[in-house]
Amino acid sequence: MTSTQVGTNLGEGNEASGSTPEEGYERGLGSRQVQMIAIGGAIGVGLFLGAGANIAKAGPSLILMYALAGVIVFFIMRALGELLLYRPVSGSFSEYAREFLGPFFGFVTGWTYWLMWVVTGMAELTAAAIYVNFWFPDVPRWVTALVFLVVLYVANLISVKIFGEIEFWFSMVKVTALIGMIVIGIGVVTFGFSQAGDAAAVSNIWAHDGIFPKGVGSSLMTLQGVMFAYLAVELVGVTAGESENPEKTLPKAINTLPWRIIVFYVGALSVILMVVKWTEFEPGVSPFVAAFAKIGIPAGAAIVNFVVLTAALSSCNSGMYSTGRMLRDLASNAEAPKALGKLSTSKTPAIAITLSAALMGIGVILNYVVPEKAFGYVTSVATAAGIWTWLMILISHILYRRAVVAGRLPASSFPAPGGTVCSWIAVAFLLLVTGLIAIDPDSRVSLYVGAGWAVCLAIGWFVLKARNPQIAVKGTQDKQLENAGQPRG
């Protein structure tokens, strides 16, 4: 029996047990849309805005931090890819945690991933408001954030085909612009045609107190912000239930991740730091906008600002998409109110999207109360939630491979290179980042929020078990095969 057939049968099994997370969705995302969503997911506010603060903290060594974290993210995505081709479902992360670790972990992962995207949406709205201040400094940030929130909420009630098309063009703008920036930056460094003049040089990367100007420790402390920049690469897993041909589109999207990291993160930052000395960057200012202002291209900074604004809105739009799907998956497993599982006439989880958008409005409030600290607060919380999600992917992958070796489950058609070794390396790295968050007073707030969130989830799970004891039955593969009427092993 192939992994595709097993996935189909398991889908039937879920139906038998009252859990059909993908039922009713329209498979309206084509190959080009999934590919561009995957590319665009790796280019967001963490790179365009967050890199400014991290450059100020770590100097040119930030390039190495992005490269190191990029390798780990690739390990995570290949682990996810193997699981996706074993059983492609729309609630992928929580479904795999539910299957291999038990219902409680599926419950926690689903809600935590939802939280991650809600607070990421807040960060994107905050960044978008900052970008608009470039043109209209007198407009309060909270007003701009509110306007964007309403517009994106309305857009997300459209069919998935329209969502895919909007994201395709959003991502196209980001990708085209970044490539253009890299080409222009290389031209400036090579030929010196700009106001930057001789100040632009490859030697800028090491000429000002070296590659680690503030020490290795300071560089490691930027990993929290670096990992935030990579949040959303796993979004292709959420699209699995609405992709036209997941067996072909998902592996292709995942396998292109290394060159996306090399070009858009390592490459773009290298060029930017060649054009402008790292000492000239400051927190709260996009390094790309600052670089083009330095180059002196007419309207260059304004153009780049428009591009990064597009990137922020794109990511927030994706956040509304993923939170709606994750809430529906939770509702399908009786782990969220039943109403959140309903689809509108356009086959979108409208009620779930509405709840998520309403809570993203907290970002508007933060921009009103603490506009200077809003971005730092929400990025640290989003990173902590993202680390949990990635850990669940990795641990689920390790347990899945054990089941395959033992002959209990069929092998995936897209095995991760290195087997579970790379997954264990990634787990260790994520635990290191968590430790760094704990010792950083600026990002430690995320752990306090995480502790409060854990208490809320524990209470929620206790209430669910009291109302429906069957929800605590371990959702193993054997149980799913029994529901589907298939023999074990």
Predicted confidence (pLDDT) per residue in 365-387, tens digit: 766 666 666 666 676 777 788 88
What residue has token string 């929620």?
Answer: 460
Per-residue confidence (pLDDT) for residue 11, from 0 to 100: 37
Per-residue confidence (pLDDT) for residue 240, from 0 to 100: 60
Q: Please, what's the b/e burial string for 416-442 (b: 16 or more CB within 10 A of its CB; e: otherwise)?
A: beebbebbeebbebbeebbebbeebee
7-16 per-position pLDDT tens digit: 333 333 333 3
Residue-level length of the chain: 489
Which residues lie below 8 Å from residue 454, measured CB to CB, with a gap of 6+?
none
> Please, are residues 280 and 128 in contact by the beta-carbon 8 Å criterion?
no
Which residues lie below 8 Å from residue 385, measured CB to CB, with a gap of 6+?
112, 113, 115, 116, 119, 450, 453
Burial class (CB in 10 A: 0-12, 13-18, 19+), 204: buried
Per-residue confidence (pLDDT) for residue 169, from 0 to 100: 82
Per-residue confidence (pLDDT) for residue 41, from 0 to 100: 60
Task: Give the three-state DSSP class for 29.
Answer: strand
| Calpha distance 375→225 (Å, rounded) | 11
The better pLDDT of the pair 101, 9 is held by 101
| Strongest mean pLDDT among 11-15, 336-340, 432-436 | 432-436
| Calpha distance 163→168 (Å, rounded) | 8
| Strongest mean pLDDT among 47-51, 155-159, 219-223 | 219-223
Is residue 489 over pLDDT 70? no
Query: DSSP for 194-262?
Result: STTGGG--GGGGTTTT-SSTTHHHHHHTTHHHHHHHHTTTTHHHHGGGGBS-HHHHHHHHHHTHHHHII
| Calpha distance 342→351 (Å, rounded) | 7
> Please, are residues 472 and 465 in contact by the beta-carbon 8 Å criterion?
yes
Average model confidence (pLDDT) for the chain? 79
Confirm whether pTM is higher than 0.85. no
> Please, are residues 124 and 45 in contact by the beta-carbon 8 Å criterion?
yes
> What would the two tokens of residue 207 be?
């000429």
